[in-house]
Structure 1
């Protein structure tokens, strides 16, 4: 039941971000890759990510989060211990994580376009 509530809250925040805040927040661009903060408060951070094929997000960590993928993509994930996994992610995929440290590289010929809802304790 708790997971259902968390997923519902995450999806609700995602909808709110797109309805109420479509053109707000800080966007950082590097080689046309975009990480746009849609909402950032004491409880949650919501970020829309668009990363092009070949883009590499160096090793970084997330607390508990939900990620929604708008389009299909292929990624290579590397963990701090050197483990490498390639993943094909379908459009519409919703992912829950208790937290992770990883490096992500976009493979193939399609963008990674996702919404990350990261919880702050």
Structure 2
């Protein structure tokens, strides 16, 4: 009986640990579904997503592995990395940006609709 109780406790601990980790590593397609509109391509190497920020729209805290951002339609955006101060940027159409793995939120602080293509790099499988 004691062994069963210990196994159940270990399983519950594992479930709670998994849930707490997933709170800090939110998939942008779920956490920020208001701006992450659709997956354009996904395979074992990359995930490419269409992102559309209407003026004033906010993407809730979410995480990315190493990724690139291509700016289709530019504007003003404020990015807040977890635990850091907000950083305002004026991004121009045609700009490509590389970003290392990050947990952040973003807000369109301008008057134009931002359109982005975000490409996440997946780790190589061994």
TM-score normalised per structure 2: 0.67
CA distance in 2, matches of 1:101, 1:36: 20
Deviation at residue 29 of structure 1 after TM alignment: 6.6
Structure 1: 5+ residue stretches without partners: 1-27
What SS is found at the alignment partner of 2:73?
Answer: coil
CA distance in 2, matches of 1:113, 1:82: 25
What SS is found at the alignment partner of 2:112?
Answer: coil
Change in CA separation of 1:34 and 1:84 when aligned onto 2, cut-off 3 Å: closer
What SS is found at the alignment partner of 1:117?
Answer: strand
Greater helix proportion: 2
TM-score normalised per structure 1: 0.70
CA RMSD of aligned residues (A): 1.9
Q: Deviations over 1:28-72 (max 9, x none)?
A: 974xx4511111111110011111011110111110111100112
Change in CA separation of 1:64 and 1:55 when aligned onto 2, cut-off 3 Å: same
Greater strand proportion: 1
Which ranges of 4 or more aligned residues in structure 1 deviate by more than 4 Å?
none
Q: Which has the higher Rg, Structure 1 or Structure 2?
A: 2
